Amino acid sequence: MNNERMYQIIRFPHVSEKSARLQAESNQYVFEVLRDATKADIRQAVEGLFEVNVEEVRVVNVKGKRKSFRFRPGRQKNWKKAYVRVRAGQVIEDLQAD
């Protein structure tokens, strides 16, 4: 898989209190990923970009919220979230919370 495709699959890290807790306690990282990416694609992308060994990938399809935009009803886009567990003792340096 080439670098361009890897960067398309892993869109950006998802930062929240839950993701920070998972990172600290169970060596898991959370990413927003491309909607048509598979678990195998996500595993290859994370291993290729961050040079770590992935133990497990879990994927969640998140439905967009209903909102009103300037008093008109609308809806945000659906998106996909991946929970990636890396092997014990390995870390993704760019995403470390201090």
CATH of the domain at 36: 3.30.70.330
The CA distance from 76 to 53, in Å, is 34
Q: Distance between CA 26 and CA 41 in Å, rounded? A: 22
* 8 A C-beta contact, residue 49 and residue 29: no
In tens, the pLDDT along 55-92 reads 999 999 999 999 998 899 999 999 999 999 999 999 99
Domain ranges, residue 21: 3-88
Residue 9 in domain: yes
Within-domain flag for 19: yes
Q: How many structural domains is the chain composed of?
A: 1
Does pLDDT of 98 surpass 60?
A: no
The residue with tokens 């990413």 is 31
54 in a structural domain:
yes
Answer for the pair 65, 76: CB distance below 8 angstroms, yes or no: yes
Residue 70 lies in a domain: yes
Residue 95 lies in a domain: no
Whole-model pTM over 0.85: yes
Specify if 96 maps to a domain.
Answer: no
Residue 94 is classified by DSSP as G
